[in-house]
Amino acid sequence: MSLYQAHLQALMQRYQLACDQFQLDAIAVHAGSLTHYALDDLSHPFHPAAFAQQWLPYDLPAETWVVYSPTQGLRLYWPAKQDFWHVCPSAPTGTWTDPWQIIAAADTDWLGELSGRVAVLTQSPHVLPRRHQLLVNPEHLIHWLNFDRAVKTEWEISQLRRANERALVGHAAAEQGFLNGLSELDIHRAYLIASEQQQIDEPYGAIVGLNESAAVLHYERKNLTPPEQSHTLLIDAGVKVNGYASDITRTSTTDRGVFRELVERVDAYQRQLVELCQVGTPYLAIHEAALRYSADTLRATGICSLSVDEQLAKRVTQVFFPHGIGHLLGLQVHDVGGHQQDRSGMIEKPPEHAPFLRLTRPLAEGSVITIEPGLYFIPMLLTKMQAEIGKHGCDLALIEQLTPFGGVRIEDNIVVRSAGPENLTRP
Does residue 268 contact residue 371 with C-beta atoms inside 8 Å?
no
187 part of a folded domain: no
* Total number of domains constituting the chain: 2
Give the Cα separation of 346 and 326 in Å (integer). 21
Whether residue 373 is contained in a domain is answered as yes
Domain that holds residue 254: 154-164+201-423
Q: Is residue 341 part of a domain?
A: yes
Helix (H) or strand (E) holding 77, with range, is: strand 73-79
Check: CB of residue 208 under 8 Å from CB of residue 186. Answer: no
Do 140 and 221 lie in one domain? The reply is no
Within this chain, do residues 124 and 268 fall inside the same structural domain, yes or no? no
Which of 83, 117, 149 is at the close of a domain? 149
Based on the domain organization, do 159 and 129 belong to the same domain? no
Residues 234 and 374 in one domain: yes
Residue 184 lies in a domain: no
Q: Are residues 35 and 142 in the same domain?
A: yes
DSSP structure string for 5-73: HHHHHHHHHHHHHHHHHHT-SEEEEE-----B-TTSSPBPPP---HHHHTT-SSPPPTT-EEEEETTTE
Please check whether residues 104 and 132 belong to one and the same domain: yes
What is the distance in angstroms between the CA of the first residue and the CA of the last residue of the chain? 25
CATH of residue 398's domain is 3.90.230.10
Is residue 94 in some structural domain? yes
* H or E element in which residue 333 lies: none
Closest residue by Cα to residue 270 from 239, 249, 299: 249
**DSSP per position, 123-186:** S-GGGSPTT---EES-HHHHHHHHHHHTBPPHHHHHHHHHHHHHHHHHHHHHHHHHHTT--HHH
* pLDDT tens digits, one per residue of 365-408: 999 999 999 999 999 999 999 999 999 999 999 999 999 999 99
In-domain check, residue 355:
yes
Torsions phi, psi for 394 (to 5 deg): -90, 140
Q: For residues 38 and 158, state if they share a domain.
A: no
361 within a domain of the structure (yes/no)? yes
DSSP H helices, 207-337, are 258-275, 283-300, 308-314, 317-320
Residues 220 and 143 in one domain: no
SS3 371: strand
Provide the CATH number for the domain around residue 101.
3.40.350.10
Does the residue 319 lie in any domain?
A: yes
**Same domain? 274 vs 399:** yes
Tens of each residue's pLDDT in the chain, 427 residues: 699 999 999 999 999 999 999 999 999 999 999 999 999 999 999 999 999 999 999 999 999 999 999 999 999 999 998 888 888 888 999 999 999 999 999 999 899 889 999 999 999 998 888 756 899 999 999 999 999 999 999 999 999 999 999 999 999 999 999 999 999 999 999 999 999 999 999 999 999 999 999 999 999 999 999 999 999 999 999 999 999 999 999 999 999 999 999 999 999 999 999 999 999 999 999 999 999 999 999 999 999 999 999 999 999 999 999 999 999 999 999 999 999 999 999 999 999 999 999 999 999 999 999 999 999 999 999 999 999 999 999 999 999 999 999 999 999 999 999 999 999 999 9
Write the pLDDT tens digit of every residue in 135-188. Answer: 999 999 999 999 999 999 999 999 999 999 999 999 999 999 999 999 999 999
Q: In this structure, are 16 and 83 located in the same domain?
A: yes
Looking at the fold, whether 158 and 97 belong to one and the same domain comes out as no
In this structure, are 205 and 334 located in the same domain? yes
